[in-house]
Amino acid sequence: MRPTIGITTYGPEGERSSFSLPRYYTDAVAAAGGMPVLLVSGAVPIEEVLESVDGLIVAGGGDIDPESYGGDGHDTIYSVNPTRDSFEMAILRRALEQPELPVLGICRGMQVMNIVLGGDLEPHLPDVYGQSVLHRLPPREPTTHDVRADRDGLFGEIFDDAEFPVCSWHHQAVRALGSGLRATAHAPDGVIEGVVFDDHPFALGVQWHPEMQAANDPRQRRLFDALVARARTRRRA
């Protein structure tokens, strides 16, 4: 059987308190041999959610409430959803305590991982790093830039190349690293683009959107392949 990969979702939002997720995530997981399962806040206790999945992806989306990490507000912050923030922080805390459960944070998901481990965020990158590298296009559209990744540890196992193009769609990023996190990839302007939690066998985050590239870029597919392979080992155990 395919290992089940739980993916957090956008929401609840709107009059119907709807949850949603771009299909890039589910397509990438399915192509890697996993069974994507959408996770929603409040429906089931977190302990039961984690018992039902073999791997976890914390997805991208809107900004995290700066009050959750003692950060400053900014007029560019958008789509704040405290219910989602609370759910993802709680499930990540528990997931990182389970060494057999592989964990991947994507964009916002990497930021949640950093906050859970005591780090914080730059509220708006252009204010600090300028415009030498565009991490999104106005008003809020994706773009592409290169990243350089470490060749040791998980990133060295997953990515064959030290430098490669990524799909970027964010205006915030890690400022101070959380406890136990190690920066493993950077944009040309110095923004942290990848992290690994060294106290866990497979817990990493990427600031870019590999799910949007996975269908056409084998380098990005390898990230999902690696996650599903670890999840398959957990399922067999």
Return the active site residues. Answer: 107, 209, 211
Q: Tell whether the torsion through CA atoms of 226, 232, 235 and 236 is positive or negative.
A: negative
Tokens of 79: 């789509």
Q: Is 35 within 8 Å of 221 (Cβ atoms)?
A: no
Please check whether residue 158 is in contact with residue 176, taking contact to mean a CB–CB distance below 8 angstroms. Answer: no
Residue type, 182: R
C-alpha torsion 142→33→114→207, nearest 10: -20
Alpha-helical regions (H) of 96-150:
108-116, 125-129
165 forms bridges with which residues in the sheet? 146
Q: Would you call 88 helix, strand, or coil by DSSP?
A: helix
